[in-house]
Homo-oligomer: A and B are copies of this chain.
Amino acid sequence: MRNIKLIVEYDGTNYAGWQRQNNVITIQQRVEEAVEIVTGNFSEVTGSSRTDAGVHAKGFVCNFYTESKIPSSNFKKALNSFLPEDIVIINSKEVDEKFHSRFDSLGKRYIYTIVTGAERPAIGRNYVYYFHRNLDMEKMKEASKYFLGTHDFSAFKKTGSSVKTSVRTIKELQIVKEEKTIKFSIVGDGFLYNMVRIIVGTLLEVGVGRFSPEYIVDIIKSKDRSKAGKSVPASGLCLEEVYY
């Protein structure tokens, strides 16, 4: 069997996330439907992660097995012609039979985008989170350093989500402001459920002055979800890249 790796960009606004579920439309379902049309057979398409409803991706990775003889680089064009306009295959490539988009991932980069200013934006509103309060950039940058490294991030995962371990490594966390837009770029070896959104929500508490930058250390130590900030909305989140 051939193993085909895809890189996918999607606008998650109208989807209930990546993973196939009953009674709602997901990106996985749309990609599997396109694969079935193009190859003539159903193949399960394995994603690098579950993304939540409303979350976007510029570099989502997934793979599927097929007997189809279509040259691997042609899958891109063929699939795109059967995908809706909010999903697009950026790249298709045949990979080693053992390649698994989730298990083999070494890390991911997410970007969370906030727009500040006096009024909520109309244009591009589905790709950002509008936050009207003033934010202290220096304090947020200072706070962001405390997330770096390997920690038990239990305080930064959605309550009720069960995983073997909540230990993760954050390799990079950069906060950049350009006019009204603030981007939080975060690279880690893996992320717990809602982890990026809770980290950003916690940094906003620092930005408005409710938490001191050093308080991040206490929150991490506490392993207590209720100590951290809110989970910010899905619309601002985009999976930029998956590393192998």
- Chain A residues within CB distance 8 Å of chain B: 9-11, 56, 58, 76, 80, 85-90, 118-125, 127, 238
Q: Flag if A123 contacts B11 (CB, 8 Å).
A: yes
Q: Flag if A85 contacts B11 (CB, 8 Å).
A: no
List 25 A–B pairs whose Cβ atoms lie within 8 Å, in order of A's numbering. Answer: A9-B119, A9-B121, A9-B123, A10-B122, A10-B123, A11-B122, A11-B123, A11-B125, A56-B123, A58-B123, A76-B119, A80-B119, A85-B120, A86-B122, A86-B125, A87-B122, A88-B119, A88-B120, A88-B121, A88-B122, A89-B119, A90-B118, A123-B127, A123-B238, A124-B127
Out of B11, B90, B120, name the residue touching A119 (CB < 8 Å): B90
Smallest CB separation, A172 vs chain B (Å): 21
Contacts of A10 in B (CB 8 A): 122-123
Q: Which of A58, A80, A87, A88 has the most CB of B within 10 A?
A: A88
Contacts of A87 in B (CB 8 A): 122
Alpha-carbon distance A11/B124, docked complex (angstroms): 8
Contacts of A85 in B (CB 8 A): 120, 122, 125
Q: Flag if B80 contacts A120 (CB, 8 Å).
A: yes
Contacts of A80 in B (CB 8 A): 119-120
Please, which residue of chain B has its CB at the minimum distance from the CB of A86?
Answer: B122
Alpha-carbon distance A88/B123, docked complex (angstroms): 9
Smallest CB separation, A192 vs chain B (Å): 25
Contacts of A56 in B (CB 8 A): 123
Alpha-carbon distance A30/B207, docked complex (angstroms): 36
Contacts of A11 in B (CB 8 A): 122-125
